[in-house]
């Protein structure tokens, strides 16, 4: 005979001992626990327990399902909780298991946005099995477990709705692969840090406007990166070597950068940066943040002055992808377990090679090509896409004595 299920849902004011009391009652009946979900929001409890039993009238303790029903009703009455019990079968429950994670990020997150996202999910024939909040500030992140959806089709539908609602939406497959992305490779300029290092250098050379124009063309994909780099670097000729120290002091990390790196390192992730910028600046970031791997260009210096040339092979669009592959191989990490983050056209190959490519406040061509895009200004929002909540980050910081608010 097919196994049957009872879904027991209790709602009402939370208090200590509710879960213990209910399971004590269940222990007196021949049932097995198939699933549990408990949520407390502002002191109000929602507790769901799915139990399975064989046939219609289990035996072995002299009790019946009718007796179990009565016992649960008594628990709910004693605790002042509302009760709902629904019957089903084990096969029905298996079909509803989630296969995708949908992350919705916004600041603020409005009801209309959730209505639009939920509507698209329903229209695609999929079901929302579970909803969880991963962060309430500085951005709100809600994660939904989805079953019955085609990943590519749902991703396209939700990307369109995200534009309408002005929110960020990411769709990822569930399972171990999501938890096993152990190498993060990130662009530097306008990603890990705010602004472009070459423009900071150019400001000291009096050529900022020209360099900024060429940089913008390159990031939009309108100009070959290697050629654009040579043109911009040539404008730096004659700068004294001391300019590097001044520019290092002018570099500003993107909000949330320290939190992101610190948290991932705490979880034993490997962290790498790849940059079309310069080792004279990125090396200090590596030391400051404890980054594992880095690749960048090196400006030539002769007799204490910049020559307007770079040394060695240029780290360009394909060079960034090769660096990611090299870092992954050196760490023994499959490419499918890597995450790449960038904003410009020269990051496209890197984003395509990685298991998950994230466009962070990126140019349109990058947002369209990446697996997912973030437009919020907080770099540590990437943690939510990896299933790491704000509460977990803060709890770990408190344990380690990190007192400063590094946003």
Question: What residues are labeled active site?
Answer: 187, 189
Phi, psi of 239, rounded to the nearest 5 degrees: -65, 140
**Helical axes 65-79 vs 18-26, angle rounded to 10°:** 160
Q: How do 82-89 and 3-13 pair as beta strands?
A: antiparallel
Measure the CA–CA gap between 321 and 315, rounded to whole angstroms. Answer: 9
Biggest alpha carbon–alpha carbon distance for the chain? 94
Residues 374 and 387: beta-carbon distance below 8 Å: no
Neighbour-count burial for 188-203, b at 16+ CB within 10 Å, e otherwise:
bbbbbbeebbbbbbbb
- Sequence-distant (6+) residues with CB within 8 A of 3 are 52, 53, 54, 89, 90
Residues 85 and 17: beta-carbon distance below 8 Å: no
Nearest to 386 by CA among 116, 181, 165: 181
- HEC secondary structure over 267-304: CCCEEEEEEEEEHHHHHHHHHHHCCCEEEEEEEEEECC
**Alpha-carbon torsion angle 388, 391, 394, 395, nearest 10:** -100
- List 47's β-bridge partners, or say none: 10, 38
Helix (H, G, I), strand (E, B) or coil at 394: helix
Q: Which pair of tokens denotes residue 162?
A: 């995200």
Helix (H, G, I), strand (E, B) or coil at 374: strand
Residues 306 and 236: beta-carbon distance below 8 Å: yes
Q: Match 């600041």 to its residue by tokens.
A: 107
Q: What is the CA radius of gyration of the chain?
A: 27
* 225, 283, 288 from 186: Cα distances, Å: 18, 14, 16
- List 86's β-bridge partners, or say none: 7
DSSP label at 60? S
Helices (H), 54-166: 65-79, 90-95, 111-123, 151-165
């Amino acid at each position: 005979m097919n196994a049957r299920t009872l879904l027991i849902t209790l709602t009402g004011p939370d208090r200590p001992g509710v879960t213990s009391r209910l399971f004590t009652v269940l222990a007196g009946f021949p049932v097995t626990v198939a699933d549990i979900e408990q949520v407390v929001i502002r002191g109000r409890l929602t507790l769901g327990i799915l139990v399975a039993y064989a046939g219609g009238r289990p035996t072995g303790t002299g009790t019946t399902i009718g007796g179990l029903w009565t016992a649960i009703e008594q628990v709910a009455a004693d605790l002042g909780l509302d009760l709902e019990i629904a019957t089903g079968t084990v096969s029905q429950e298996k079909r509803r298991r989630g296969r995708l994670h949908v992350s919705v990020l916004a600041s603020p997150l409005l009801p209309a946005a959730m209505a639009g996202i939920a509507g698209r999910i329903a229209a695609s024939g999929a079901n929302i099995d579970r909803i969880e909040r991963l962060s309430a500030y500085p951005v709100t992140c809600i994660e939904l477990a989805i079953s019955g959806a085609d990943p590519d089709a749902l991703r396209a539908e939700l990307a369109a709705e995200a534009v309408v609602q002005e929110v960020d939406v990411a769709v990822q497959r569930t399972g171990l692969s999501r938890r096993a992305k152990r190498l993060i490779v990130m662009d530097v300029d306008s990603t890990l840090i705010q602004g472009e290092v070459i423009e900071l250098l150019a400001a000291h050379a009096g050529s900022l406007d020209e360099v900024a124009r060429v940089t913008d063309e390159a990031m939009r994909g309108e100009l070959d990166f290697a050629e654009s780099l040579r043109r911009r670097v040539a404008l730096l000729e004659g700068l004294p070597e001391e300019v590097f120290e001044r520019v290092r002091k002018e570099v500003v990390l993107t909000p949330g950068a320290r939190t992101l790196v610190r948290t991932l390192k705490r979880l034993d992730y490997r962290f790498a940066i790849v940059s079309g910028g310069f080792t004279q600046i990125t090396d200090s970031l590596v030391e400051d943040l404890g980054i594992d791997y880095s690749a960048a260009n090196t400006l030539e210096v002769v007799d204490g002055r910049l020559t307007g040339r770079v040394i060695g092979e240029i780290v360009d669009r394909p060079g960034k992808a090769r660096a990611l592959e090299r870092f992954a191989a050196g760490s023994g990490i499959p490419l499918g377990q890597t995450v790449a983050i960038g904003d410009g056209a020269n990051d496209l190959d890197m984003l395509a090679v990685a298991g998950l490519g994230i466009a962070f406040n990126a140019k349109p061509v990058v947002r369209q090509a990446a697996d997912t895009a973030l437009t919020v200004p907080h770099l540590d929002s990437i943690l939510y896409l990896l299933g790491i909540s704000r509460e977990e980050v803060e709890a770990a910081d408190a344990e380690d004595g990190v007192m400063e608010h590094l946003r």
